[in-house]
């Protein structure tokens, strides 16, 4: 396949995807069009159409002209003129005398023949048939009257000419009889004149005979070859035809509206839409929609409740992508954020943390969304003591850190009491000290932050971590918002390592639907990698809710080596 053919197929496939995404718009317009068509048919008055057929013959005027000039061409039927006569006022007046309130007539020539159809549409079948037949007979009657009048006038004129010639012939004959017998020249001249007059008279007599013969023939200019039968079905409305037309119109309008909406729609729909605005930032994962999630407002940990579902496998693939990023750079703290609210950043972080913990890693989740904290709800833990408690000195890190029940190696530092000034609190050097201290003791620290655009919290936090993951959502995120969020993070030199697309379509996340789900080679690779890392927390056992394992507790209480700055931030071991 050449490049041009491949480009064409891709172009058609893109249009097919657009129509699939906008199918409900097309269906809605189609239903409205069909409903309007059906409603129109239901309220429309039924009409019936009856048709009679006429065979046209040459007009009387042409017959008269041929009789006057025998060498002329055989007369032809003037169909357009006949059609105008049928639709003329004189014919309509004649029809309405027989059929009061008769509708107008429609006359059409049958191909290139001398046959025309006379059609009438009325509200009753009887009216339609009677009017159609009346138009046909009225046309013949009018033509007959005109023919009789024309022939009578022509006969009178010819008879007058004959009478005149008879008088002249009698005069010449008298002159011949009175001429002297010796005057041969005069007699010859009179004889020649007499012969000429007799020849003219003979011609006029022949012409008169043709007129009389024409009067005995059909001089009406046509004949009815098919009377209009009584219609048995209405000609309109036609439900089947109207519904089919409504379907075609509805599809055309629906597809037009769908394409128009797509043109002006700024929302992210596919991975291609996302990549157009990320400008080279890699897409780390495509998370399909969670079918078992009844309400977006309720926390649902799919990686824990449905580990073999397609979204769970997608989170494992995302975990692998993040682990490969760790081969290129040292990522110990990872911030999850989004351009705006309700795009799934907290859900992504919670499932990511669970997936990493199941792979044998020691994971600490920190809730830095101090305005709308939700991460603790995914794990069923308390939010009374947490990150702000440690910052304000009302609790130690050991007291604030909670282990997640049923998931060994996963710990949560909730947000704690909501402060009046979240941005100022997050920019405090002590916040980064907490991040560094936990990053030194665990395999990875995952931080939940507010969205980028509404507040500055995410931009502040982005300068204090090793990597930032931006989460967008199909249908919720717009290309404009994603672009602005990347621009905001770029202004503070945030280490944006990639983006994640939530609720990805089946065509984008095809691999997740194609194969069965279960333990993969990725899990074996991550377990081997975690086993090779000398982390005390990696071998920890499940502990009661809110209890930190002794190994991690010891590491939290261990003194850290200062890095020499005046902020008191601990250096990495």
Mean pLDDT (the chain, rounded) = 81
The pLDDT, as a whole number, for residue 522 is 44
The pLDDT, as a whole number, for residue 61 is 54
pLDDT tens digits along 48-74 = 999 999 998 876 555 555 555 554 545
The pLDDT, as a whole number, for residue 28 is 95
Question: In sequence order, which residues have a C-beta less than 8 Å from that of residue 262 and are 6 or more positions away?
Answer: 18, 21, 22
Q: Is the pLDDT of residue 8 over 80?
A: no
**520 confidence band (pLDDT: 50, 70, 90):** very low
| pLDDT (mean) for 495-509 | 84
Q: Is the pLDDT of residue 324 over 60?
A: yes
Q: Taking the CB of residue 462, how many other CB atoms lie within 10 A of it?
A: 23
| pLDDT (mean) for 202-213 | 77
Largest CA distance in the chain: 174
pLDDT tens digits along 325-347 = 877 788 899 999 999 998 989 99
Cα 417–Cα 423–Cα 425 angle in degrees, nearest 5: 55
**Of 2 and 33, the one with more pLDDT:** 33
Between the alpha carbon of residue 55 and those of residues 82, 114, 115, 128, 222, the distances in Å are: 11, 6, 4, 20, 5
568 DSSP assignment = -
Give CA torsion, residues 83, 84, 88, 90, to 10 deg.
Answer: -70
Residue 173 in tokens: 């004959």
Q: Is the pLDDT of residue 534 over 80?
A: no
**Of 2 and 493, the one with more pLDDT:** 493
Q: What's the CA gap between 240 and 165, in Å, rounded?
A: 73
Rg for the chain, CA atoms, rounded: 50
Residue whose pair of structure tokens reads 């002329």 in the numeric block? 72
| pLDDT (mean) for 369-379 | 92
Q: Is the pLDDT of residue 477 over 50?
A: yes
State whether residue 177 is helix, strand or coil. Answer: helix
The pLDDT, as a whole number, for residue 116 is 94
Residues of the chain with pLDDT > 90, as a percent, come to: 44
The pLDDT, as a whole number, for residue 32 is 95
Q: Is the pLDDT of residue 380 over 80?
A: yes
Query: What is the C-alpha end-to-end distance of the chain, expressed in Å?
Result: 56
| pLDDT (mean) for 159-186 | 79
The pLDDT, as a whole number, for residue 568 is 33
Q: Is the pLDDT of residue 77 over 50?
A: yes
The pLDDT, as a whole number, for residue 134 is 94
């Amino acid at each position: 396949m050449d490049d041009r053919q491949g480009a064409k197929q891709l172009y058609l496939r893109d249009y097919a995807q657009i129509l699939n995404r906008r199918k409900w718009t097309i269906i809605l317009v189609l239903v409205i069009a069909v409903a309007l068509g059906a409603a129109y048919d239901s309220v429309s008055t039924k009409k019936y159409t009856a048709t009679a057929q006429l065979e046209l013959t040459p007009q009387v005027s042409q017959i008269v002209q041929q009789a006057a000039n025998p060498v002329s061409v055989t007369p032809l039927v003037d169909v357009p003129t006949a059609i105008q006569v049928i639709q003329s006022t004189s014919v309509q007046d004649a029809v309405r005398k027989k059929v009061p309130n008769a509708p107008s007539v429609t006359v059409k020539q049958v191909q290139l023949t001398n046959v025309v159809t006379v059609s009438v549409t009325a509200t009753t079948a009887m009216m339609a048939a009677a009017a159609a037949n009346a138009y046909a007979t009225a046309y013949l009657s009018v033509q007959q009257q005109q023919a009789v009048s024309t022939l009578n006038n022509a006969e009178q004129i010819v008879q007058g000419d004959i009478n005149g010639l008879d008088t002249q012939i009698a005069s010449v004959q008298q002159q011949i009889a009175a001429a002297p017998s010796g005057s041969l020249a005069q007699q010859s001249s009179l004889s020649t004149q007499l012969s000429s007059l007799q020849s003219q008279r003979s011609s006029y007599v022949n012409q008169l005979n043709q007129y009389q013969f024409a009067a005995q023939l059909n001089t009406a200019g046509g004949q009815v070859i098919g009377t209009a039968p009584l219609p048995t079905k209405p000609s309109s409305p036609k439900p089947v035809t109207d519904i089919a037309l409504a379907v075609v119109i509805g599809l055309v309008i629906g597809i037009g509206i769908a394409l128009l909406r797509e043109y002006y729609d700024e929302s992210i729909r596919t991975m291609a839409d996302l990549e157009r605005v990320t400008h080279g930032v890699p897409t780390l994962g495509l998370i399909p929609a969670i079918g078992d999630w009844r309400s977006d407002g309720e926390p649902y940990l799919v990686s824990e409740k449905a580990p073999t579902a397609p979204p769970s496998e997608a989170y494992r693939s995302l975990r692998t992508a993040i682990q490969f990023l760790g081969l290129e750079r040292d990522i110990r703290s990872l911030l999850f954020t989004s351009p705006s609210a309700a795009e799934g950043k907290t859900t992504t972080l919670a499932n990511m943390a669970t997936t990493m913990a199941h792979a044998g890693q020691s994971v600490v989740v920190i809730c830095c969304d101090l305005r709308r904290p939700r991460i603790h709800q995914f794990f069923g833990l308390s939010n009374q003591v947490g990150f702000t408690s440690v910052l304000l000195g009302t609790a130690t890190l050991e007291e604030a850190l909670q282990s997640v029940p049923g998931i060994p190696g996963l710990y949560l530092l909730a947000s704690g009491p909501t402060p009046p000034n979240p941005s100022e609190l997050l920019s405090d050097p002590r916040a980064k000290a907490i991040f560094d201290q936990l990053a030194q003791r665990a395999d990875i620290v995952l931080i939940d932050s507010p969205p980028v655009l509404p507040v500055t919290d995410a931009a502040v936090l982005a300068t204090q971590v090793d990597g930032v993951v931006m989460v967008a959502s199909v249908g919720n995120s717009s290309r404009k918002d994603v672009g602005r969020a990347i621009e905001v993070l770029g202004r503070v030199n945030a280490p944006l390592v990639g983006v994640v697309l939530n609720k990805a379509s089946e065509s984008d996340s095809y691999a997740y639907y194609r194969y069965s789900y279960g333990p993969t080679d990725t899990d074996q690779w991550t377990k081997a990698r975690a086993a090779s890392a000398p982390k005390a927390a990696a071998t920890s056992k499940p502990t009661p809710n809110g209890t930190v394992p002794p190994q991690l507790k010891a590491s939290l209480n261990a003194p850290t080596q200062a890095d020499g700055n005046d902020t008191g931030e601990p250096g990495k071991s």
